[in-house]
Chain A
Amino acid sequence: MSRPEFLLDGVAVPFDEGQMILEAGRAAGRYIPHLCWHPDFPPHGSCKLCVVKVAGRHVSACATPARAGAEVESDTPEINAERRMLLQLLFVEGNHFCPACEKSGQCQLQAMAYDLEMTTPRFRHFYPDRPVDASHPEVLLDFNRCIYCELCVRASREQDGKSVFALTGRGIHKHLAVNAESGRLADTDFSADDKAAHICPVGVILKKRVGFAVPIGERTYDRAPLHTVAMPKSEDDA
């Protein structure tokens, strides 16, 4: 029996029952932008960059199951404009000063802004005061760049079994916190070998002393755009 299909921007995409729109699209070689979604974790649905339009509704593609015959709009001016606005809100909410960031060129937030041709943050900047935590001997935390995707929280809790990170506070006061009495990373059992140390899509969790080992101009997204890099390398990775 042939697999059920839905239409993604007019192209038929087959899916397995229970599969989410983003995953099914990805398996069929169709990229849908995402920041908080990661293939190793269940959908989180917080960044909303994977927004798509299904039957007139704007839904998160990472957390919406595919339905046979559904018409899904993703790469359209309307939806991309909405994504660009979400990016602009993320940019003004933190301190995203790319010229001084070690992650520049390897940062998914920046690469997505390039992909969606975001040339201005458009809104009024918050310029929040978020001191860095350099206490750990091997890893630096620069909270200025946090986008609250919770990937480090999830990786530390579910894969490393350490629960080093958490999001705390509500609304505009929400921030990333370190699970130690002192609030310092040095006072946890966090290690540079943890999954959580390598999963940050932006420049919050940085390994010390290797920041510029790969020069600017030769980095991941200098070589290829995000919509190419983010796709699985082979069928098996999907």
Chain B
Amino acid sequence: MSAPPKLRIATVSLAGCFGCHMSLLDIDEHVFDLLQRVELDRSPLTDLKHCGPCDIGLVEGGVCNSENVHVLREFRAQCKTLVALGACAINGGLPAQRNHLDVGRCLSAVFQSRPGMDTAEVPDDPELPLPLDKVHPIHEVVRVDYFLPGCPPSGEAIWQFLSDLLAGRTPRVAYPILHFD
């Protein structure tokens, strides 16, 4: 009997710190089990720039700029199941701590009035995505199927979650692997 076809998984870090991706690698030897059952599409691990049709999309980080919005929409369009991975994707996390500040004043504080900055101008290269006035959790932009909280979620939590998902079970995140920090 031939092996079942591999599921395709895409992963991305939007306004995140790659901590959730580090935690994904922290599943240790389960990486071998995972790679026997899945194939990676767009991901920082493959360096593919666009996402093809996928079974599962894991999104780390919130939405802080226009590029994040495009990437997130591409993920939603291509992935059958979209997962918000970690605190920032779920509630904005650390980047969202700027939400009560004016984004223009943030930029000028960083680029114009900080000692040692030669140019004293806010960068405006057309290649740079424009920041949004607020950082948003991904469910405020697209529909999200599952949420796996944690900052980051532990390798154990990620593996349990993915095992459920790969086996066709509804993933359950409960005490003691459910953490917001």
Contacts and interface: CB of A to CB of B under 8 A. Distances in A.
Contact of B94 (A96, A99, A101, A114): A99
A127 interface: yes
A51 to B, nearest CB: 21
A158 interface: no
Interface stretch (A54-62, A76-84, A115-123): A115-123
A95 B93 CA distance: 10
Nearest to A120: B147
Contacts of B87: 97-99
Given A97-B97, A119-B147, A122-B139, A91 B181 contact: no
Of B87, B144, B147, B180, chain A has the most CB atoms within 10 Å of the CB of B180
Given A97-B93, A99-B87, A119-B149, A125 B181 contact: no
A120 B175 contact: no
A31 to B, nearest CB: 14
A120 B93 contact: no
A180 interface: no
A124 B173 CA distance: 22
Interface in B126-171: 134, 136-137, 139-140, 144, 146-149, 151
A97 B91 contact: yes
| Secondary structure class of chain B's binding surface, majority of residues | loop
A216 B144 contact: no
A127 B181 contact: no
Given A91-B91, A127-B134, A117 B172 contact: yes
| Secondary structure class of chain A's binding surface, majority of residues | loop
Contacts, number: 73
Contacts of B96: 97, 125, 127
Given A114-B175, A117-B173, A119-B147, A99 B181 contact: yes
By size class, the interface of chain A is 20 to 34
By size class, the interface of chain B is 20 to 34
Contacts of A100: 94, 97
Interface string A203-229: 000000000000010000010010000
B44 to A, nearest CB: 21
Nearest to A222: B176
Contacts of A97: 87, 91, 93-94, 96-97
B99 interface: yes
A120 B100 contact: no
A163 interface: no
Nearest to B87: A99
A104 interface: yes
B97 to A, nearest CB: 7
B144 A104 contact: no
Given A125-B140, A128-B100, A117 B178 contact: yes
Nearest to A226: B175
A95 B92 CA distance: 10
Nearest to B97: A97
Given A99-B180, A121-B90, A125-B137, 9 more contacts: A97-B87, A99-B93, A99-B94, A110-B180, A114-B179, A125-B91, A127-B100, A128-B100, A129-B100
What 7 pairs across the A-B complex have the smallest Cβ distances?
A98-B180, A129-B100, A99-B151, A127-B99, A119-B147, A120-B147, A104-B181
